[in-house]
Amino acid sequence: MPYTYNSSFELLQNLLDRSDSVTEFTQFVQVSTEFMTIMSQEEKRKQDEDRRGYLMQEIFQNADKLGCPNELPPLKSKTVPQLEELNQRLLKELSNSNLRLVS
């Protein structure tokens, strides 16, 4: 169940009421915040990995369509932005080659 602002505030209020001290509550909030930060980073890392896989597959397909799959640089060491840039370059070349075929 996703929390809304109000339900989150109520949860924090309940925790504060049940805590033995403000210090204990503060520590709980700090640990919870760190946990959420770590979970957010982990989700971002997973999304980046998924994006990397998708981009690498698309790059190989586009390079194959252009007839130059062996001319690709090593992709595993590339960052997501570098892969996106390479894919855009290949798409542009593919578009240009399709335009030449039509003319």
pLDDT for position 103: 47
pLDDT digit of tens for each residue in the chain (103 aa)?
555 666 767 777 777 777 677 787 788 788 888 888 888 899 999 999 999 999 999 999 999 999 988 888 899 899 999 999 999 999 999 998 866 655 4
CB 63 within 8 A of CB 72: yes
Per-residue tokens: 33: 């915040």
Per-residue tokens: 50: 């998924």
Q: What distance lies between CA 66 and its chain's CA centroid? A: 28
Per-residue tokens: 79: 């960052």
pLDDT for position 101: 57
Residue recorded with tokens 């925790």: 15
pLDDT for position 35: 85
pTM score of the predicted model: 0.62
CA dist 32 and 38 (Å) reads: 10
